[in-house]
Structure 1
């Protein structure tokens, strides 16, 4: 097998290509031949060495990937050779309340991830992916896809006619747009440019706001909703955007806290939260059962994740640079098939 690993520390200079023996599955495990992997902002945080003490080197990065079953353990009954599956982001969270050691079960840190040609995973942590998706599209689902699904499903599902505000145009945001529209919601998106505003409108956004031109975009959201505000905010920004999200939400609205791209420490004007009975609900991807529910929705509506670029396996570091630059529109992926792009 071939794989990429942060060998002697974090930082892109420590991401090296390596070769090793292909692992063999135990009785309850499955050996996958990976075909594609996808990057998330979280993978940059890991690369920067900022994901906490539990994430150490050596480490195979990336949590999102897809592959085919090439060998099963003696006790595995639910999968067969040739099945196309993805490992769940949390390898030990099937459903219900999250386990107390939740962070210990994450792929791509602290567990080895999917930037490899082959990998062994527990059979009960694998999920079949929709047949109509390409390998690159399917590879975006375990973290980015399930996060978008959870953001629209918790603490209660989005209902037809509700207004959803989605911050940004990353992989989570773009899939959330399509899922929210499929659920019958009205969708508002904040973007960083007029070009991206046009792109999200093509995906179905009812209103796109260039936050660089309209820094107090909460006012625009309230005007668009007749002074009421939105039912739900998918808050992917963090410290610099949370207060605007609070202002944009209606009385009784919900703010789904997902990201902290703009910082970890936010200041809130608590009277706006208290007097308007707002709910702040955090989402950390989701369990395997949420992944299965996402795939049923995708298959029903034939929704496709947006893929910007697919890099060959030997150019994996370039994929990290591309995501870090922030210049693309959609998911950055890597083919795990030697000298072949998805």
Structure 2
């Protein structure tokens, strides 16, 4: 098989080349002769879970997304329910033009079993509207637990109206896992997309043929640098990304008490009546409580050791912690979301003053409670 016969990697979509092993798309000549169509990078990710430093810059991502507005197609935005603010494609309304949009909410299996699906869908619809996106349908998914796929396929068939389907999403939302699940059940395509816990697995569009001559088009994951998952070393991603349903941790706090989430974040309850806070983070992230007056000393003495992950080397690799002051309004239940880490629910409607410390650049936001 020649490069002319197989121009693109079936794993990531990048153009194949057999001349420079340091560049994207490299495939060893001997692999090409055997009829393989997967680049060396994807082979290593797929078989050894080995990270690659190869990524496209943001201009390349925008160039690919900008194609969508000039087409007649359906857009499916895969969103990570564990990091909605960090994974919802920013400015999506500018890219999609007049095309219909399905929001597919992946990783539902990670949320507590008490989560109300109907309330969750309503909440997401409100968030999408606030971001200027008119959504045709919101669908709850779990690629891992096989939830929602019959409904997703049915909705795609209904809304695409004989046109192509573009699948978009941020890195690490499970986009390739969702597409692979669809391929296994509803396509004759033999080779699956490369699945990895590392950002940037898909490097160019991959066109998956549909029965009527149109395509399901996988696009590269959008890299948002304000997500903590984009800042940590690759070996720490597994600790940040939940692997099992999260176990909420409830803390009754007096004012001037502090919670540390490993060395990744610090939560200061500065002022307000005694109240409880529920923490939704990966089960692998230990939470330490202390008095506010001791917080600085505790962090300086124990970051990367008792306050871990990350380890000392990982702490040094992150930007320094930066304070963001938040005033929680009275009268409603609120979440404080830390992109890439999780969120803290304020369980009182009495209001509170909070300081959140996160690595500089990480997005912190307030929202109506998701649960």
TM-score range, shorter chain: 0.3 to 0.5
Ranked by relative contact order (alpha carbons within 8 Å, sequence separation 6 or more), the top structure is 1
For normalisation by structure 1, the TM-score amounts to 0.35
